Chains A and B, each alone.
Chain A
């Protein structure tokens, strides 16, 4: 297994730039999950590392060795695609053994390697079956097994669970988790499913528009987004955002009750604020009036699949979404009082980057009004 290091990777398709000088390291032995909206370049980055796409410029190193000019077959990577690829007419065992047979590994070593992954993925009972007849989940397991059995330098997974549904998917996810924790391979895992990423990742990478927005431990990305986009993208739903704007002074006043007094003072010291974000799960919701809290009218409340109640409430002209397990299913029009604890409020500069309130505080402070303008969705 290897460290995968890439520097200034650029890839263009005609007029669109899929990768804009992307640099980063995928560390040896860690599972890195790449998240991002469709077309953000995550799959392109994966395919470029594999060699299936040729970068326009930039370098890729596996453990310090340049591989960007090597053909796919010489890079020794394992790759699993969204649609399960199994080779027709071969048994499960032969499917997994095929790449090693080609590499002329001895039969006893092949057997040992294949048996190990068969066991880890619970494929043992199917080993002798012809692979075409299996269900999608088991076919994908075969594809994964084939990719890992020969111990490639890096394992690249491109949305491996997407084409598998329901129960099969849960089974596959469990097996995959077991395989990854057991082997400690270098894994790069592309997905658009956050819960998948949170379950599997040691390191999480969020991409947008061909740029890596943030890379780090999943918890850090979630709790301390370095960029407005990361805060918006992670979470279901993502952060609430308020956009201070000079011309909507009254909004600032009404939303004021959301913040604790000390934070209010600190925010007031910042002149150029792009947005203020906070997660729905950290919005405190009171059913009785609380002094100083922001009063809001419930517009909508619904039960989520995780058993939480999702409340959308109108605080003056500002819409706030809150998510809690303990709330009653509030009826439309009922009153609630909202407040966000200071440690869960994130401020972002107009360019979307995280803003450190104390560092950004300006001497000639003047309160900035807050307005709600449409979220910057990409």
Chain B
């Protein structure tokens, strides 16, 4: 009674696995292996960081690098006992999630407006929106710093979050508008006929239709805000430092570079992002191909 697939024409389905050719299995294995070998070359730096987080300083600097060693939590525990570490972690999480949450919320409202109310110059406005991301950070950081100083916003959470929100919104609007354009206006009309107000229509009916888009916008901007260090270092000063800023300053200690600290912090820094992306990757892939999940109509 219920078809297992939405494919309207079963005849167009690709044929089942082609008959196995002798020796093809071996070939497949070789292919798979070579993909992994090539990929490994690119991921070596990451592997190096991950392994180093569990090495002693001597092991980290050993030449040639040691791949087999007895892992130690020495670096991580030392870092955890340092008070500033927890501040960085808190700052990173707090700033990232607040900024992205606010940005995606605002962007949803804006994207809905841009998608549903067509007006002269709307497309140009969309382009102008994105242009904010085209200005190199190094060019805008100084004027921003002067503005922030004049307003007294430096060294504050609100100031940093405001910047991150401002920088996240354009891209989030682009992603969400793409999804919203794919949801037929009939959904809005249907909801209105069903008795929903415009506001409820937006949140109860339309929002669930574009959930993958919301997740995609959230993740893309999370990556940006989580990694943002230039503006944070300059506008945030000492009090509102996030992990990437701490990593930068960790490079310049008096006793030379503390590689163990850097490796441990980098490890702690990368894991939350990777975990999030791993769990939501299905949405992320969908998000990168925008149009493909357009609604039914």
Instruction: Say yes or no: A73 contacts B184, CB within 8 Å.
Output: no
Hey, which chain B residues are within 8 Å of A76, CB to CB?
A: 195
Pairs A–B under 8 Å by Cβ, sample size 15: A50-B189, A72-B189, A72-B192, A81-B190, A82-B186, A83-B296, A83-B297, A85-B190, A87-B208, A88-B209, A99-B196, A102-B200, A102-B204, A125-B1, A136-B8
For A125, list chain B residues within 8 Å (CB). 1
Report whether B193 and A52 are in contact in the complex, using a CB–CB cutoff of 8 Å: yes
Q: Is B211 an interface residue, CB under 8 A from the partner?
A: yes
Report the minimal beta-carbon distance from B270 to chain A, rounded to whole angstroms: 32
- Report the contact-size class of chain B (Cβ under 8 Å from the partner): 20 to 34
Contact A72 B6 (CB under 8 A): no
Give the interface centre of B8, B195, B196, B209 by most chain A CB atoms within 10 Å: B195
- Given known A-B contacts A83-B186, A83-B296, A89-B211, A133 and B193 have beta carbons under 8 A apart: no
B195 CB → nearest A CB, Å: 5
Bound Cα distance A89, B208 (Å): 7
Selected contact of A50 from candidates B1, B193, B297, CB within 8 Å: B193
B2 at the interface (CB under 8 A from A): yes
Residue B163 lies at the interface, judged by CB distance under 8 Å to chain A: no
B189 adjacent to A81 (CB under 8 Å): yes
B205 at interface, CB cutoff 8 A: yes
A134 CA / B2 CA spacing, docked (Å):
7
Partner among A52, A84, A86, A102 whose Cβ is within 8 Å of the Cβ of B189: A52
Q: Do residues B205 and A133 form an inter-chain contact, with CB atoms below 8 A? A: no
Given A52-B189, A79-B190: A103 and B195 within 8 A (CB)? yes
Residues A52 and B192 in contact, CB atoms below 8 Å apart: yes
How far, in Å, is A162 (CB) from chain B's closest CB? 12
User: Inside 8 A of A22's CB, which chain B residues have their CB?
Assistant: none
Interface residues of B in 254-297 (CB under 8 A from A): 295-297
- Beyond A72-B193, A76-B195, A78-B193, whether A83 also contacts B3 by CB under 8 A is no
Q: B67-108: contact bitstring with A at CB < 8 Å (1 yes, 0 no)?
A: 000000000000000000000000000000000000000000
Q: Tell me the A residues contacting B by CB distance below 8 Å.
A: 50, 52, 71-73, 76-79, 81-90, 98-99, 102-103, 125-126, 129, 133-136, 139, 143, 146-147
B190 / chain A contacts, CB cutoff of 8 Å: 79, 81, 85, 143
Chain B residues within 8 Å of A81, by CB: 186, 189-190
| A85 smallest CB distance to B (angstroms) | 4
Question: Does B187 count as interface, using CB distance less than 8 angstroms?
Answer: yes
Residue of B nearest to A98 (CB): B194
Nearest-CB residue, chain B, relative to A90? B208
In the A-B complex, the 3 residue pairs with the closest CB atoms:
A99-B194, A83-B297, A72-B192
Are B195 and A102 in contact, CB atoms less than 8 angstroms apart? yes
Given the interface contacts A83-B296, A133-B6, does A99 sit within 8 Å of B184 by beta carbon?
A: no
Give chain A residues whose Cβ lies under 8 Å from the Cβ of B295: 88
Assess the A85–B6 pair: CB atoms within 8 A: no
User: Bound state CA distance, A143 and B184, in angstroms?
Assistant: 14
Give the contacts of B1-56 with A (CB-CB under 8 A). Answer: 1-3, 6, 8
CB distance from A165 to the nearest CB of B (A): 8
Given the known interface contacts A52-B189, A83-B186, the answer about A102 and B211 at a Cβ–Cβ threshold of 8 Å is no
Chain B residues, CB < 8 A from A52: 189, 192-193
Among B6, B189, B194, B200, contact of A135 (Cβ-Cβ < 8 Å): B6
